[in-house]
C-alpha cells in the first residue's frame, strides 16, 4: 500500500467501516430468529414466516431430503420438514444461510483458503456438537453448539480481506513463534479476530451466546456464567481441529497450556475428545451437506 503504513487505530476504524457496510441479516432471517426465540413457538408459526421466502423454503426441504438425514421417503411439506428437523435446526440453517451468503464467498478470502477455512469451521462445529452430546445436553440444544462452532472464526474473514498482506505476515509470525494466531494478529494489527467477531455479532444482533462465543472463544473464562459452557466446549473443539489439522483457519499452533483448564471447566478428559475422532470424521462428511445447502443462496 502506498504512503505511510496505517496506525492500529486507522486499521481498527477500517474494520469497523467494513463491518458497518456488510449487509444486514434479511428480514426473513431476522423474523425467523425472533419467532424461534419465543418459548411458545410452534412449527406452524415458523412455517408462516419461512413460506414467504422461496429460497429458505427450498433450503429447508433440501436439507431434510439430504444424505445428512438419510430418510427413506422424500418430504415435500414445509411444515412436516420443520417438525422433523426441529425449530432449532431450522433457525440455525436460516442463520448459517445468511452468514454464508454474506461472508462465505470466494472474494471474502484473500490470505486464507476458503475451503480449508470452512472445513476447519465444520470440524469445530461437529466436535462441539459431539462434546455437547457427551455432556448429556438435549438434542435440540446440541445444534446450538454446531452453529457456534461453525461461526466461531467469522472475525478472521474481514481481517484477511482488508489487510491481506499483514494477515499473511501474522500467520507467518504465528508459525515462526509456534504460538496462537490471535497473539500474532494483535502484534501485526493491534487487535485480533475475536474483537472483529464481536462487531459482526453486534451488527447482526446475534443472541448473547453467539456474541460471547465470537468474542471469547480464546478466553472462555471471560464469558458470562450462562454461556461459559458453550464457549469452553467450542474452545476445546477448536484446539482439537487445529491439533489434528482438520482444515485450517491459519492457526497451526493452539495454546496447549489451556487444555487442562478447559477440560476441567467442561468436565471432560482428553481421552473423551480423541475417542470421538472417527465419529467426527464421518460427521464432517455429512455436515458438508449442511454447509452446501446453506451456501446455495440462490
Q: How far apart are CA 175 and CA 169, in angstroms?
A: 10
Given a cut of 70, is residue 297 above it in pLDDT? no
At 94, list the grid cell: 436460516
Between vectors from CA 290 to CA 284 and to CA 294, what angle results, nearest 5°? 140
Given a cut of 50, is residue 1 above it in pLDDT? no
Taking alpha carbons only, the member of 175, 82, 88, 65 closest to residue 138 is 88
Contact 223, 212 (CB under 8 A): yes
Where in the chain are the domains? 8-295
Q: What are the pLDDT digits (tens) for 229-265?
A: 999 999 999 999 999 999 999 998 888 888 999 999 9
Contact 238, 254 (CB under 8 A): yes
User: Where are the extended beta strands (E) located within the chain?
Assistant: none
Can you give the pLDDT at residue 70? 83
Q: How far apart are CA 34 and CA 36, in angstroms?
A: 6
DSSP category for residue 2 = -
Question: DSSP readout, 84-126?
Answer: HH-HHHHHHHHHHHHHHHHH-SGGG-SSS-HHHHHHHHHHHHH
Can you give the pLDDT at residue 4? 62
DSSP category for residue 235 = H
Question: DSSP readout, 53-83?
Answer: -HHHHHHHHHHHTSTTT--SS----HHHHHH
Confidence of residue 108 (pLDDT cuts 50, 70, 90): confident
Pick the CATH number of 8-295 from 3.40.1360.10, 3.40.50.10540, 1.10.3210.10, 3.40.50.300: 1.10.3210.10
In whole angstroms, how far apart are CA 57 and each of 13, 64, 68, 115?
38, 11, 17, 26
Per-residue pLDDT, averaged over 9-14, amounts to 95
Q: How far apart are CA 271 and CA 5, in angstroms?
A: 47
Given a cut of 70, is residue 2 above it in pLDDT? no
In whole angstroms, how far apart are CA 129 and each of 115, 137, 142, 273?
21, 9, 5, 12
Contact 148, 128 (CB under 8 A): yes
Confidence of residue 298 (pLDDT cuts 50, 70, 90): very low
Confidence of residue 6 (pLDDT cuts 50, 70, 90): confident
The reported pTM is 0.90
Amino acid at each position: 500500500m502506498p504512503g505511510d503504513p496505517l496506525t492500529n487505530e486507522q486499521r481498527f476504524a477500517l474494520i469497523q467501516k467494513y463491518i458497518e457496510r456488510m449487509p444486514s441479516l434479511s428480514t426473513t432471517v431476522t423474523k425467523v430468529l425472533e419467532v424461534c426465540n419465543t418459548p411458545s413457538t410452534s412449527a406452524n408459526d415458523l412455517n408462516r414466516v419461512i413460506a414467504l421466502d422461496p429460497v429458505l423454503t427450498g433450503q429447508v426441504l433440501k436439507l431434510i431430503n439430504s444424505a445428512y438425514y438419510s430418510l427413506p421417503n422424500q418430504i415435500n411439506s414445509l411444515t412436516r420438514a420443520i417438525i422433523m428437523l426441529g425449530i432449532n435446526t431450522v433457525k440455525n440453517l436460516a442463520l448459517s444461510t445468511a452468514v454464508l451468503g454474506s461472508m462465505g464467498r470466494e472474494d471474502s478470502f484473500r490470505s486464507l483458503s476458503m475451503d480449508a477455512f470452512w472445513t476447519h469451521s465444520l470440524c469445530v462445529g461437529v466436535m462441539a456438537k459431539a462434546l455437547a452430546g457427551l455432556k448429556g445436553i438435549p438434542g435440540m440444544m446440541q445444534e446450538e453448539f454446531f452453529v457456534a462452532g461453525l461461526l466461531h472464526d467469522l472475525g478472521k474473514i474481514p481481517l484477511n480481506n482488508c489487510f491481506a498482506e499483514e494477515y499473511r505476515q501474522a500467520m507467518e509470525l504465528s508459525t515462526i513463534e509456534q504460538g496462537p494466531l490471535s497473539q500474532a494478529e494483535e502484534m501485526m494489527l493491534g487487535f485480533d479476530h475475536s474483537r472483529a467477531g464481536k462487531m459482526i455479532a453486534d451488527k447482526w444482533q446475534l443472541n448473547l451466546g453467539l456474541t460471547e462465543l465470537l468474542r471469547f472463544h480464546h478466553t472462555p473464562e471471560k464469558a458470562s456464567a450462562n454461556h461459559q459452557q458453550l464457549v469452553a466446549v467450542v474452545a476445546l473443539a477448536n484446539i482439537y481441529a487445529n491439533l489434528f489439522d482438520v482444515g485450517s483457519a491459519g492457526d497451526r499452533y493452539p495454546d496447549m497450556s489451556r487444555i487442562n483448564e478447559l477440560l476441567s471447566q467442561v468436565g471432560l478428559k482428553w481421552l473423551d475428545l480423541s475417542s470421538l475422532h472417527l465419529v467426527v470424521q464421518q460427521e464432517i462428511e455429512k455436515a458438508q451437506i449442511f454447509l452446501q445447502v446453506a451456501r446455495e443462496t440462490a
